[in-house]
Amino acid sequence: MPVRSVFDMVDEAKAALDNLSCSEAQRRVDAEGALIVDIRDIRELQRDGCIPGAHHTPRGMLEFWVSPDSPYTKDIFQHGRELIICCAGGMRSALAAKALQDMGVDKVSHIESGFEGWRDTMPTQTHDEWKAARIA
């Protein structure tokens, strides 16, 4: 069996998901208490900046941090909030959001344009500003 195209997998994931604009993602955060989960590598956050208030979760740990029976479970994911997944360009986030949907997470979506789109239209912070705001 040939290896599947990642682009086909992303298209299939997007077809099953709520694909959000940046403004709709921010509206859901403000009005409904949704949580933006940034799955980019820490080096991307340091280089490119961050979404204010987003929670960083390395892509490789996402399912383990969300799963309630994992030894790595993080409490922030255990409250039924909508999880809005974000990556750099919308492909990794689509695959990650689909994985969470397949795990049974009811309220999961992703930012279709990723951080690249966010940076063009919405406020951002440097990594240092983002870290300082988390501690405050």
Q: What count of other Cβ atoms lies within 10 Å of the Cβ of residue 108?
A: 23
Please state the domain extents for the chain. Answer: 22-135
85, β-bridge pairs: 37, 110
Asked if the model's pLDDT at residue 136 lies above 70, the reply is: no
- Tens of pLDDT, residue by residue over 33-62, are 999 999 999 999 999 999 999 999 999 999
Single pTM value for the model: 0.95
Mean pLDDT of 85-99: 99
DSSP conformational letter for 27: H
Asked if the model's pLDDT at residue 85 lies above 90, the reply is: yes
- Rounded distance, CA 124 to CA 27, Å? 16
For 22-135, which CATH class? alpha beta
Asked if the model's pLDDT at residue 135 lies above 90, the reply is: no
User: What sections of the chain are H helices per DSSP?
Assistant: 6-16, 22-32, 42-48, 62-66, 91-103, 114-121, 127-135
